[in-house]
């Protein structure tokens, strides 16, 4: 069965240079990162510090009351190890008044918390004249395991082309501490929540199926012949295409000769020669 690998030094250098180049294109030297105490945000933090210097990276730690208290302390440790600035903003006081008005299930609450954190991050980006570095990985992006306009909202996504399995490989290579590496992946949106439990599949199996489907362009029956359960393969396929809207610009009805997102298309950093 296939095993995902990674050219670790190439990935490190390439992502670091990517962060530097995007910083220059945006025109901002500093970045803010939502530091959760998990492996994705920690790896993003380490790479950003290497790219921009520790004086230009600010960790924004956003617990919800006592939920994820250990992760908050772990995030603080990371800022101490890398000697960076940090802010701690408890979002409970922001979220609870709305929760009290609405009869909300835990999924809605989790999404609201994710969007509240992103609102805080973009506000802090204004405060520090910084851009927002997102922390989503390729696995999450492909299956839609993200909150639309929540954790997916950012200026750049340095880990966006690394599967979770590869995130772990690179994090270990960079010497990220075991208290981060050994954690069960969780967004900690409610007590006892875990990524793999919620998705119903391990990252190890998910990433292999995604790699065959997306990178190697294998058809579902070909992936099954690689040794994967047909039900799991179909589940992943549905997750990918049911969440495709999260990866696209909102639809616009074409009325004029040139329409944003349809035929008015330029690279993000494009500037016409007359500007």
pLDDT in tens, 223-275: 999 999 999 999 999 999 999 989 888 889 999 999 988 888 888 788 788 87
Q: Are the C-beta atoms of 31 and 58 separated by less than 8 Å?
A: yes
pLDDT at residue 191 tops 80 = no
From CA 201, how far away is CA 80, in angstroms rounded? 34
Q: Are the C-beta atoms of 151 and 145 separated by less than 8 Å?
A: no
Q: What is the mean pLDDT of residues 99-127?
A: 94
Confidence of residue 2 (pLDDT cuts 50, 70, 90): confident
From CA 106, how far away is CA 109, in angstroms rounded? 5
From CA 12, how far away is CA 213, in angstroms rounded? 25
Q: Domain locations in the chain? A: 8-190
Instruction: Name the CATH topology of 8-190.
Output: Rossmann fold (3.40.50)
**Locus of tokens 């549905």:** 238
pLDDT at residue 15 tops 90 = yes
From CA 87, how far away is CA 124, in angstroms rounded? 9
pLDDT single digits (tens) 147-185 = 999 999 999 999 999 999 999 999 999 999 999 999 888
- How many Cβ atoms from other residues are within 10 Å of residue 133's Cβ? 28
Buried b (16+ CB within 10 A) or exposed e, 32-67: bbbbbbbbbbbbbbbbbbbbbeeebbbbbbbbbeee
């Amino acid at each position: 069965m296939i095993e995902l690998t990674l050219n670790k030094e190439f990935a490190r250098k390439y992502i670091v240079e990517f962060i530097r180049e995007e910083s220059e294109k945006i025109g901002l030297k500093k970045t803010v990162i939502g530091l959760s105490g998990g492996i994705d945000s920690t790896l993003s933090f380490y790479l950003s510090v290497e790219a921009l210097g520790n004086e230009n990276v600010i960790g924004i730690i956003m617990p919800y009351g006592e939920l994820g208290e250990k992760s908050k302390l772990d995030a603080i440790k990371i800022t101490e190890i890398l000697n960076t600035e940090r802010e701690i903003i408890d979002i409970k006081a922001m979220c609870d008044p709305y929760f009290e008005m609405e009869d909300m299930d835990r999924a809605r609450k989790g999404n609201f918390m994710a969007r509240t954190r992103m609102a805080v991050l973009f506000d802090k980006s204004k405060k520090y004249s910084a851009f927002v570095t997102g922390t989503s990985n390729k696995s999450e992006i492909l299956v839609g395991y993200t909150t639309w306009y929540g954790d997916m909202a950012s200026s750049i996504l340095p880990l966006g082309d690394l599967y979770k399995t590869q995130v772990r490989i690179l994090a270990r290579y960079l010497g990220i501490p075991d208290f981060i590496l050994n954690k069960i992946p969780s967004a900690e949106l409610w007590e006892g929540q875990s990524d793999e439990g919620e998705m119903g599949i391990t990252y190890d199996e998910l990433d292999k199926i995604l790699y065959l489907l997306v990178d190697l362009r294998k058809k579902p029956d070909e992936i099954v012949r690689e040794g994967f359960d047909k039900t799991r393969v179909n589940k992943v396929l549905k997750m990918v295409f049911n969440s495709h809207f999260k990866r696209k610009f909102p639809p616009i009805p074409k009325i004029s000769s040139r329409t944003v997102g349809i035929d008015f298309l330029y690279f993000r950093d494009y500037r016409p020669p007359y500007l």
